[in-house]
Amino acid sequence: MTNLKCPHDDKDSLMNLQDPELERTLRQAPRPLPPATLRETLVAQITLPKTPHCVAGVDSLSSPWRPRSAAVNWWRRWWPALAPAALSVACVVTVAVQQMEINDLRRLLEPLVAALPVDQYETSVASVPSVAPVFAASAESDELARLHDLVDRLAAEIAALENLQAENESLRASRSGGSGLAVTADERAALAAAYERAQVITCINNLKQLGLAAHIWAKDHNDMFPSSLSDLSAQLSASVMVCPVDAQAGSQRPYEYLRPGAEAYKEPNLVLFRCPNHGNICIGDGSAHMKVAKDRPEHLVERDGVLYYEPNSSAPAETQDRAGEEP
Amino acid sequence: MHSDSNRLVAAAREGDRGAAEELVNLNYQRIYAFLRRLSGNEAEAADLTQRTFSRIWCALDTFANRSSISSWFHGIAYHVYVDWRRANHRLEPRSDEWWGDRPSTEALPDQLATKADSDAAVYSAVEQLDADLRETVHLHYYQELTIEETAHVMAVATSTVKYRLRRALEQLRKRVNDEPQMPARR
C-alpha cells in the first residue's frame, strides 16, 4: 500500500485535502467530450412547436412531454390545492342552506304549537316522531309545573288541618279540665246552681210551647184539646215534650198530660201539663207556672178527679212571666 | 449571454430553426458531459442527450422565464436522467472513471502526476457518494450552476442544496484523506 504525497505538503504523510482544495478540484473536473456525430444528430432532430407536432414516440419513457397551453399547465399545477378547497366550500354552503331551512321551519311551527290544546298537542306530537322529542319536553314541563302547584296546595291544606287538630286537642283538654285550671267548691256550687236554673227555665219554656200547641190544636179540632201528646208531634219537636233533666239522663219520659181531650177555653185554671222533676205546670189558658207542684202544692186543688190551679187559695204563685226573678 | 439565450428561445418558439441550431451549439456539450458523468456510458449519454433536446423542443412554449436557460436545460436533462435511472434500476454507484477520458498525449511530470492522482481520488470518491449528494456535486461543481440554479433543477430548497454540499465535502474529505489512493490512468 503506497501513501501518496500531497503536492502541497512536503511531509511524508497521507493526503490532507481541505474543503477549498476539494472545491477547486471539483470545479476543475475534466469535461467528457461528446461523440463527433452527436451535434449533427441533434440538429437533424430539431422539431419546433410551429412545425409538425412533437412526436411522442421519440421519448418512450414513462413521462412523455407534450406541448401544453399555459392555462392547462396552470390548472395542472394548482388542482391539488383547489380541489379540496372547492369541496370544502361546497360542504359549507350546503350546511348553511340546510340550517337556514331548519330555522325557517322552526319559526313556522312555533305559533302552531302554541295554538294547540295540550291533549291534541300530545296526540299530534306522537304522530310526528321526528318532532316529538322537541315538543314533548315542553308538555312534560307544563305537567310538572301543574303537579308542583297541586303538591303545594295539598301541603298547605295538610298544614292547616294539622293546626286545627292541634287546636281541637287543646280545647278538648281544656274542657275536660286537663288544662290545669283550678275551680273552687263555691264556684262549682254556683255553676251547678246556674245549670239547674237554666234547666228550670228550659222546662218552663217547653210547657209554654206545649200549652200554645194544645190551643192551636183545639182551634182546628172543635175547641177540644188533643187526646195525646203524640198529636202535637207535627207541631213540636221531641225535645220539647221531654224535661231537660230527663233528656240529660237519657230518658224519653214526656211531661204529664193531665186532661187529654178536654174542652178548651172552658176552664182556664185547668192544669194541662205537669213536670214530674221540677213541679212546673201549664194550665188551660196557656200560661206556665214554676215549681207549683213542688214548692206550693196548696195552690193545686183537685175536684172530681180534675186538678185546678188556684193561687188565691193560700199564697200568690210564681208565673212564667216572672220566671227570671228569684222568689 | 443570458439575454441572447432568451432571444434564441423566443425565436425558436416562433419556428426559427437557425435559432434552435444555435441553442444546440451553445449547450449540447455541457448537457452531454453532465449526462456522461451521471450515466457512466457514452452510448447512454448520447441517447439521453437526444431525449433531452427532444423534450426541450416540445417544451419551448412552457418556458416562462422563471429560471435561466441553463438551469431550464439542466432541469430537463436531470429529469431525463432520473426517468432513465428508474427504468433501468440504476440506483447503485458505478465504477466509471470518466475523469480518465481526457486526452493526454504527453507524460506528466511527477508533481502533475501526483496532482492527477489526488484529483482522480476526489472524482472517484464523488462517485461513491449517495445519489442526492452526488447529483448535487455534479450540478454545482461540474456543471458550474449556482446554488439557486441547482435548487431549481433538483426542485429542492437552497438550504437543502447547501446542506448536501456540506455533507458531500465532509464525506469527500474523509474518504480522500483516510483511504489509500490508487494512481490515475495515464
Tell me the pLDDT tens digit for each residue of B98-156.
776 554 445 557 767 777 888 888 998 999 999 999 999 999 999 999 999 999 999 99
Question: Using CB atoms and an 8 Å cut-off, which of residues 67-126 of chain A contact chain B?
Answer: 67-70, 73
* CA dist B147 → A29, B121, B160, B162, B163 (Å): 18, 25, 10, 7, 11
- Mean per-residue pLDDT over chain A, rounded: 80
CA distance A21 to A28: 11
Burial of A251 (0-12, 13-18, 19+ CB in 10 A): exposed
Beta strands in chain A (DSSP E): 256-257, 271-274, 281-283, 288-289, 300-303, 306-309
Residues paired with residue A300 on neighbouring β-strands, in sequence order: A309
pLDDT tens readout for residues A64-121: 344 445 566 678 778 888 999 999 999 999 999 999 999 999 998 888 888 776 665 5
pLDDT at A324 over 50: no
CA distance B19 to B57: 12
pLDDT of residue B133: 95
CA distance A132 to A258: 88
* CA dist A149 → A143, A146, A156, A315, A321 (Å): 10, 5, 11, 77, 62
Q: What is the DSSP letter of B138?
A: I
Any chain B CB within 8 A of the CB of A11? no
pLDDT at A42 over 80: yes
> For residue A123, how many C-alpha atoms fall within 13 Å in the half-sphere facing its CB?
4
Helix axes of B158-178 and B147-154: crossing angle, nearest 10 degrees: 100
pLDDT of residue A180: 53
Question: What percent of chain A lies above the pLDDT cut of 70?
Answer: 75
Helix axes of A19-27 and B110-127: crossing angle, nearest 10 degrees: 90
Residues 6 or more apart whose CB falls under 8 angstroms from that of A48 comprise B12, B13, B15, B16, B17, B20, B57, B60
pLDDT at A308 over 80: yes
Residues paired with residue B30 on neighbouring β-strands, in sequence order: none
* CB within 8 Å: B118 and A4: yes
* CB within 8 Å: A48 and B37: no
The 3-class SS string of B162-173 reads: HHHHHHHHHHHH
DSSP for A92-114, written as a single string: HHHHHHHHHHHHHHHHHHHHHHH
Cβ–Cβ under 8 Å, residues A294 and A312: no
Distance from the A33 Cα atom to the nearest Cα atom in chain B, whole angstroms? 7
Helix axes of B69-88 and B17-39: crossing angle, nearest 10 degrees: 50
pLDDT of residue A4: 45
* CB within 8 Å: B46 and A51: no
* Closest to A322 in 3D by CA, of A200, A190, A217, A236: A200
pLDDT at A10 over 70: no
Q: Which of A296-305, B91-100, B160-169 has the highest mean pLDDT?
A: B160-169
pLDDT of residue B87: 86
pLDDT at A24 over 60: yes
* CB within 8 Å: A59 and B55: yes
Cβ–Cβ under 8 Å, residues B73 and B27: yes
- Name the residue type at position B135: E
pLDDT of residue B88: 79
pLDDT of residue A288: 94
pLDDT tens readout for residues A179-223: 556 678 888 999 999 999 999 999 999 999 999 999 999 999 999
pLDDT tens readout for residues B5-30: 888 888 888 888 999 999 999 999 99
Any chain B CB within 8 A of the CB of A52? no
Length of chain A in terms of residues written: 327
Q: Which of A89-93, A187-191, A319-323, B90-94 has the highest mean pLDDT?
A: A89-93
Using CA coordinates, name the residue in chain A closest to B171: A19
* Closest to A26 in 3D by CA, of B150, B141, B128, B97: B141
Instruction: Grade residue B75 by pLDDT with cuts at 50, 70 and 90.
Output: very high
Question: What percent of chain B lies above the pLDDT cut of 90?
Answer: 51
The H-or-E segment that residue A153 falls in is helix A132-175
Any chain B CB within 8 A of the CB of A184? no
Place of cell 299530534: A124
Taken in order B4, B6, B9, B13, the sign of the CA dihedral is negative
Q: How far apart are the first and last CA of chain B?
A: 37
Instruction: Grade residue B66 by pLDDT with cuts at 50, 70 and 90.
Output: confident
Mean pLDDT of A126-151: 74
pLDDT at A57 over 50: no
pLDDT tens readout for residues A253-280: 999 999 999 888 888 999 999 999 999 9
Least confident of A4-8, A12-16, A229-233: A4-8
* CB within 8 Å: A47 and B59: no
CA distance A42 to A44: 5
Which residues does chain A have within 8 Å of residue B80's beta carbon, measured at their own beta carbons?
59, 61
Residues paired with residue A319 on neighbouring β-strands, in sequence order: A289
pLDDT of residue B78: 95
Strand order in the sheet with A271-274: A256-257, A271-274, A281-283, A288-289
pLDDT of residue A63: 40
**Three cell numbers, residue A178:** 286537663
Total CB pairs under 8 A between chain A and B: 167
Burial of B169 (0-12, 13-18, 19+ CB in 10 A): buried
Phi, psi of A302 (to 5 degrees): -110, 125
For chain B, give percent helix, strand, coil, nearest 5. Answer: 75, 0, 25
